Each structure stands twice: as C-alpha cells, then as structure tokens.
Structure 1
Amino acid sequence: MFRFPFYLLLTVFVLSGCMVGPTYQPPQPEMPASFQPTGPWRVAVPKAHLPRDGWWRVFNDPELDRLEIRAMADNPELQIILARVARARAGVSTSEAGRYPRLDLNPLASRSRTARDFSGSDHGTVSSFFDLPLDLGYEIDLWGRVRHTIEAAEANLEAGMADYQGALLSLQAEVARAWFSLRTLDSDAALLAKTIELRQKNLELIQSRYDAGETSKLDLERARTELSIAQAETEAVARHRDELVHTLAVLIGEQATGFDVAEKPLDLDVPAVAPDIPSSLLERRPDIAAAERRMAAANAGIGLAHAAFYPEIRLFGNIGFQSATIGDLFEWDNRTWGLGPSVSLPIFDGGRNRSNLQRAEAAWNEMAAAYRQKVLLAIGEVEIGLSSLHYLERQAAFLNAAVASSRSAAELSRKRYRAGLVSYFEVVDTERTLLSAERQSVSTLGQQLESTIYLVKALGGGWDEIDGSPTSHRQTIP
C-alpha cells in the first residue's frame, strides 16, 4: 500500500537535478598587473572580502579618527543602506522557505440545509460538517525555479552588502576630505592673520611717516588698501569654513546648529604612496563587487525565466478528521488522508514566457555592460589619482622654493623701504608675491591630501597590501 508514495518520492529525488538555465561564470576582465604603461595584463576577480576600513589612520590625526567613528555610527545615509541590506537578507530567508514543505491546519465547521428536491426528504435536511485537516504542500523543484530564486536573492543580498561597503568608503572619504579642507582653510586663515598683522604695522609706520611728511599719501592709501584686501579675504575664508563645518556636522549625523570645530592649521606630511601599486587592490572595490553580484542575480533571473517553460509539479497531502458531529470528530474511523501530485503545464500564454526570457537576458546584458564600465572607471580613477599625486608633489617642491625666495625678497624690500631706497609700491608687490606663494603652497598641500583620499577610495580603501601601509580591518555589517 506504500509503493505509490515511495516511488513518487524516489522520482522526485532523481529528477531534482534537472535544473535549467545557464551556469553562472564570474566575469574575467583583463587588468594591468601594475599601474605602469608597459605592465603585463592579468585576469581580475572581485574580492569584496579584502580589508578596506581604517585607512584614514595613515594620516595619524586623532581628531579625524574620532570624526570617522562618529560618522560610521550616526550617519543617516549609512543607516538607510543598512536597512536595505536587512530587507535583502529577509528576502533571502523568504526565498529559502520555498525549499521546504508547507504545512497548514485548516479547520472547518459548517451547518447547512439541503433543498427538498435534493435531500430525499419532504422538508429538506439540515446537516453539520466538521473538518480538521492538516494540509501539506510541496513544490518539486525539478527545473530549478526555487533554486534560481534563492540564487538571485543571495546575489542581491551580497550586492547590497557591497553597496554598504561602498557607501561606508564614500562616507569615510567625504569626512576626511571635509576635515582636511577645513584644516587647509585654517592654514590659509593663519597666513592671512599674519599678513594682516604685518600690514597693520606697515600702515602704522607709513601713517607716522606721512604725518612727518616723509612719504606721500599714495603710499598711505596703498597700505590701507592692502590691509582691507587681506581683511576681506579673511572673511571669505571664514564663510567657506562655516560651510565646511556644517557639511561635516551632517556627515557625522549631527545638527549643524551648535556644532563647531576648533581651528587647527595643517601640520602633517602627505603619506607616501608606493610607486608600484598592484592592480589586484582594485578587485576589492565595493562597486565592482556589487556589479559582479548583480550579474550573478541577472543570470539566476535567466534560469528562472527558463523554468517557466516547464511543468510546475506540486505534491499535496493531507491527514485529519471529518465528522457530522463535533463529538465524533476524533473517532478513529473518521480519520481522513490523501496524497498525490498536481501538474501545471504551460500550453499557451500569449508569448509571456518568451518575453520574460528576453527581458531577463537583456537585464543580464545590462549588468554585464555595467560591470565592464565599473572596471574601466576604476582603472581610470586610480591612474588619475597617481598622476595627480605625482604632479602635485613636483608643484609643491617648486612652490616651497618660491615661498623661500619671495620671503627673502619681501624682507629685503621692507628694509630698503625703511631706508628710503624704494617706494612702498615695491614692498606691496613683494608682499603680494609672498602671500600668493604661501597660500598656493598651503592649497597644494590640501590638494595632495585630497588626491591621496581620492586614490584610497579608487583602490577600494587604501594600499595596505604594500609594506609600510596602514593596517585596516573590514567594517562588519550589523
């Protein structure tokens, strides 16, 4: 009596390997082994598991460390993406439920009257019906519909986790960029404050000489003009600084009102970047990992579309009790059971399944193109970062030389003016040149730090595979 269920289950297990759809092959784009024009090429494999957190510690700035930690804990944008990851994780659990049978208890109690013409009675009959079935339903996943659904959900979850890592990296970079821009402005403000102090003394000196009839009013007005210009530039720097402070407040998840950062001019060296960075570091970029996982999800979507062309086979079963009176419901002779399969075979759907397959294939092509674009952009961004740092280093060296020579020239012109050998115009000219060179030098240092952050982000979070680089630990997704 048990042969039918036994052979039915045996058939299920034998056919459960008949999964349709393409087998996913991870993409293998070619990448240079190093960022050099003549370097050999190699196949790239996304590695989202590599460490990428803590890279900002290379700057050895405790205040930046504190801001980064606060941003990672309280930034609302990061919390939004975490919620999306949690939703995707729940989606995986929902998909995995399709692997298991569904068991439902569906009790029924009814009382009805049958019409006279159908009851065999002159007055009709009234009857009661009590049913307590335990229903079992299970989809026999012969063609991989359930498995493809799970694969797509898992790939989308992994893509969402990579998106989180990407958002985390972007947030860290934005905090570092805002912080060093703020400190660059503080250095600029310090230069202007020193300039204002010097020009104030010059104005007092010229005023006394003018009062004594030793210089012209033209020199006095020039001194006043130069002082006012420096004061106006100080106000512009202060305005820009307030904007950055408010930006930083938003990044770390605080209200801009009442938030402030103490002034602190730049006092650090630009971290050294190894000249031969391996392109394998690109493989841990979160956006590349996310794009690859979305390709995998799209591939599973093709399999799901293929499975729709095949019969959907379900196994149904039930066991329970039925009775006309509730008192006899649990009598052993009132027990019921049933077992059997159902098959749903698509015959005509107006081209729906074919269109769904075409849509799934188009989605895969879209994701594949997006992945290739991410790889190309990644290589380009790293090359831009390396090139920028190279030329900024050379620019900084020239500017340092310019600052030294212009400082000497400004001091010499002031001495010559006090000795009455030159007009104040020469002093104004040399001091303008000095201030310009100093401000450009500070700006270039800020650009070097910004380019370093840009390169860190382009590499997916630093270059810690190279000796002497910062140690980092991957951020764990809650």
Structure 2
Amino acid sequence: MQPTLKRGAVLLALALQGCSLAPSYTPPTLNLPQHYREATRDGPWHSAQPADQLTPQWWREYHSERLNGLQQRLQTANPDLAAALAHYDAAQAYAGQLHAGLFPQITASGQPLRQRQSDNRPLRGTTQPSIYNSNTAGFALNFDLDLWGKIRNQVAAGDAQAQASADDLAVARLSLQRQLASLYVQLDGLDAQQRILSTSLEDYSQALELTRARYQGQIASEMDLTRAQSQLAEAEAQLDDVRGQRNLTEHAIAELVGEPASTFQLPPSEHPLNLPTAPDTLPSSLLQRRPDIAAAERRLFAANAGIGVAKAAWYPDFSLTGLLGGQTQGSGNLLAAANRFWALGPLVSLPIFDGGRLSAQEQQAKAEFEEASAHYHGQVLRAVREVEDNLAQLRDLQQQNLDEQAAANAARHTQTLATNSYEAGAVSYLDVVTAQTAALQAERQVQALHTRQLQASVGLLTALGGGWQG
C-alpha cells in the first residue's frame, strides 16, 4: 500500500471514531405554566425568577429542632435510604464497566503442561516423543475501533442511567423526608387533640361534681346526673382513641429513623408547629429541580443513545487483535528469540443473515425511546398537578379554618351561656351537654384543619422538589 493510502486510511479511521448513529438529542421542552391556576385569598401565585434556589433542608420552614433532629437521623439510619444508596453505587459501578470498553483490553496468560500425544495422531513424526512438556506464556490484545459509535453510545447511556439513579436516590430521600414530616405533623396534631380533650375532661369533671351536688340537693334530676356521667365517659373514650392513634404514629416514625418501635419514644411536644408562610411567588421553574423529572429526562437521553447502539449493529465491527508470548518444550528461556511468537491484525465481522433480530432490536430501541418520552411528559404533568392540588388545599383550608374558628367561638359562647343558665335553673342539663359537645367538636375541628394545612404545606414543599426559596 502506498504511504499516501496508508495515511488516508488512518485519517478515515480517526474520523469514523467520532461517528455516532444515535439521533440528535435535544432536551424536551417543559410546558410549564407561567403562573399556577390555584390562588390564595390574596391573589394568584405568579412565576418568580429562575435564579431562585431550593432550601437544602426544607423542613426547617417549620422551625422545629426536634423535627430537624429526626430528619438527620433518617439520613443516616433509614434502611430504605441505605438500599437506594447501594443501588446508586451499583449503577455507578456499571457505568464504569461500560467505560472500560473505550480502551484496549490486554490479558496475560500462562500454561505449563505435561501431555501425551496419540501414537495414531495424523502426520505425527517418527522422532516426536509421546510424552513431553509444553510451557506457554503470553499477552493478548483486543481493541474495538468503535467506528460507528456503538460503544460510545453504550457509555453515554450508562452515564445517563447512573445520573438517573442518583436522581432516584434523591427521589427516595425526598419521599422519606416527606413521610417523616407528615407523620410528625400528624403526631403534633394528636398532641394538640390530647390537650383539648384533657381540658374538656377537667371541665366535664367539674360539671359532673356540680350536677351530683345539685342532684343530692334534689335540685337536679337523676337524668341530668347520668347525662353528665355519659358525657365524661365519652370524652375519656375519645382521649383513649387519640392516644392509640398517637402510638401508631410514633411507631411509624421509629421505623423511618431506623429504630425499633419498642425502644423509641417521643414525648408530647410543648411547642406546636406553626404554618410556614409561603412566598407570594412560586416559580414554575422549581419543577425542573424535581429529582423525578430529572431522572425521567436522563432515561430519555439513555433511550436515545440506545437507538444509536441498535443502528450500529447493522454495520461492520472492526477490532484490532494481537498476541505476544513465548513457548518451550519444558526447558529454555520463554523470552529467547527462537521461542517467541506473535500475531497482529484486524478482525472484521459483518452480519449477513440474522432472521430479523437486528431489525427487531432497532424497533425495540425506538419504542423504548417513545416510552421514555411519554413517561417524561407524564412526570411533568403529575408534578404540575401535585403543586396545584396542594395550593388548592392550602387556599380552601385557609378559608375553612376561618369559618370553623368563627363557629368554635360561637360554640364556646353558647357553652358559657348554657352553663350559667343551668346554674340559675333556667334550662335543663341537656342544653349544657349539647352546648359542651358542640364546643368540643368545633375546637377539635379547628385543630384538625390546622393539621391538614400543615400537611398540605409539606405536600407543596416536596411537590416543588424540596422548598420554595433560597
């Protein structure tokens, strides 16, 4: 071959090294809203600046050191999070395996043998011994030239899958953080319910003593006495139910922070949680920071690279192979010139007939890309819906809480009027029981609405990817 042709062949091979049969990839456009439809009583939520950043520890919006401590314990002790981290490490290691395909593969081998050959071996010489030694040592080289980008697309897909696995880890972490925050909010609400019921029990006990005294003085009827006793017992039953719910919630928190429920205990909180104030602007671009959306986009990229891998399988596969070593008959220097052997040359393979396997693989790769694309767009729609859901919850619960608070104030006033009228002998004890029951229910409902507001705020913070401000 002429020197010019040799140089041309080398340049052509180098140029083909940059060839890729994967379709040109463009990150899909996010059709995010300029502002969210759901609004508060003060107006709609508008888009903020793209430079806004997430709060690294979004649960600090609740200003609870105990919640922060539980979240820190979750980071280090939750077994599900440890499993997600191990899965991420495995994905990183697999990507490293794919990267190895970009480099020449060199192996060393050694084979000391003592063997006997058949007396009837074809073409055996009369002077050849039947039993002899054969020592072989050498190196083998194999390097796929990857002219069509098959290996490079495999590497790109592996890297994208590893990045998606990192996002999956973030998804798992955010989901567990949300579960823990929601359970803590529920626990805080149950503690508040216990305080309300404990106060009511004190009031009902005093009312029962008053009714018993009036009954003994023949001022009140036995029916009034039994009504007071029934009301006190019903409130105690409600308190027992709340305590039971609290135990279950406490056990669930123990599991999340990696501790046995038998040894875990959280005393009632003395500082109830306050509802964090959301900013007037919630940037829709925050959704782009959601790890589940990021993972879906990386898997879409990996599927696109997979099309390039499938297309490259149609073309000839060029690789360079080589051997270098030595062989003796049991004695002598393996590295001596007379004992050396070597081989060097290209290896070309081209599919001729495969029964439609390559065509089916390419169709599969394209279908997987369409699946990943649909999953990505579905993830975006789900994210927008979750934000809208929690915004609607916060707005509606805000108004509902105001209305319920007004009802609670009226019920407490009615309870005071009924108690004073009963002591004056103007009404029966049935009116007192009715007023007290209504006041207790209204107060518990106000507190339950506050808990639901807190849970909706947890949902909004996590729906935005973990925070709403920097």
TM-score by length of 2: 0.92
Aligned to 1:105: 108
For 2:97 and 2:186, the matched residues in 1 are separated by 46
Opposite residue 18 of structure 2, the aligned amino acid is G
Opposite residue 346 of structure 1, the aligned amino acid is P
Native 8 Å contact 2:38 2:392 kept in 1: no
Aligned to 2:94: 91
Offset of residue 302 of structure 1: 1.1
Residues 1:332 and 1:5: Cα distance change in structure 2 (over 3 Å): farther
Aligned to 2:459: 454
SS at match of 2:32: strand
Q: 144, 151, 154: which is aligned to 1:149?
A: 154
Opposite residue 195 of structure 2, the aligned amino acid is A
Q: 99, 106, 124: which is aligned to 1:119?
A: 124
Q: 402, 426, 442: which is aligned to 2:447?
A: 442
Native 8 Å contact 1:184 1:265 kept in 2: no
Opposite residue 229 of structure 2, the aligned amino acid is R
Residues 1:368 and 1:40: Cα distance change in structure 2 (over 3 Å): farther
1:352 aligns with 2:353: no
For 2:68 and 2:188, the matched residues in 1 are separated by 15
| CA RMSD after TM alignment | 2.6
Q: Which moved more, 1:31-40 or 1:110-119?
A: 31-40
- Encode CA deviations 1:6-28: one digit per residue, 9 max, x unaligned: 87655432321222121222111
Opposite residue 426 of structure 1, the aligned amino acid is D
Aligned to 2:219: 214
- Encode CA deviations 1:75-117: one digit per residue, 9 max, x unaligned: 1111111010000000010000000001111223334435366
Aligned to 2:21: 20
> What does 1:177-326 align with in structure 2 at a 5 Å threshold?
177-264=182-269, 267-326=272-331
Opposite residue 352 of structure 2, the aligned amino acid is I
Offset of residue 397 of structure 1: 1.6
Residues 1:167 and 1:294: Cα distance change in structure 2 (over 3 Å): same
For 2:64 and 2:467, the matched residues in 1 are separated by 16
Opposite residue 97 of structure 1, the aligned amino acid is A
For 1:106 and 1:6, the matched residues in 2 are separated by 34
Native 8 Å contact 1:33 1:280 kept in 2: no
Offset of residue 195 of structure 1: 0.7
SS at match of 1:107: strand
TM-score by length of 1: 0.91
Aligned to 2:387: 382
Aligned to 1:411: 416
For 2:386 and 2:434, the matched residues in 1 are separated by 40
SS at match of 1:261: coil
Offset of residue 273 of structure 1: 1.2
Residues 1:73 and 1:5: Cα distance change in structure 2 (over 3 Å): farther
5+ long unaligned stretches in structure 1: 466-478
Opposite residue 58 of structure 1, the aligned amino acid is E
Residues 1:40 and 1:67: Cα distance change in structure 2 (over 3 Å): closer
For 1:222 and 1:229, the matched residues in 2 are separated by 10
Residues 1:7 and 1:137: Cα distance change in structure 2 (over 3 Å): farther
Offset of residue 321 of structure 1: 2.0
Native 8 Å contact 2:46 2:282 kept in 1: no
Residues 1:2 and 1:258: Cα distance change in structure 2 (over 3 Å): farther
Opposite residue 144 of structure 1, the aligned amino acid is G
For 1:37 and 1:432, the matched residues in 2 are separated by 36
Q: Which moved more, 1:325-334 or 1:307-316?
A: 325-334
For 1:41 and 1:188, the matched residues in 2 are separated by 36
Residues 1:442 and 1:5: Cα distance change in structure 2 (over 3 Å): same
Offset of residue 464 of structure 1: 1.2
For 1:268 and 1:109, the matched residues in 2 are separated by 76
Equivalenced residue count is: 461
- Encode CA deviations 1:110-150: one digit per residue, 9 max, x unaligned: 34435366223188655543322211110111111111111
The runs of 4+ residues in structure 1 deviating greater than 6 Å are 1-8, 37-42
For 1:298 and 1:418, the matched residues in 2 are separated by 79
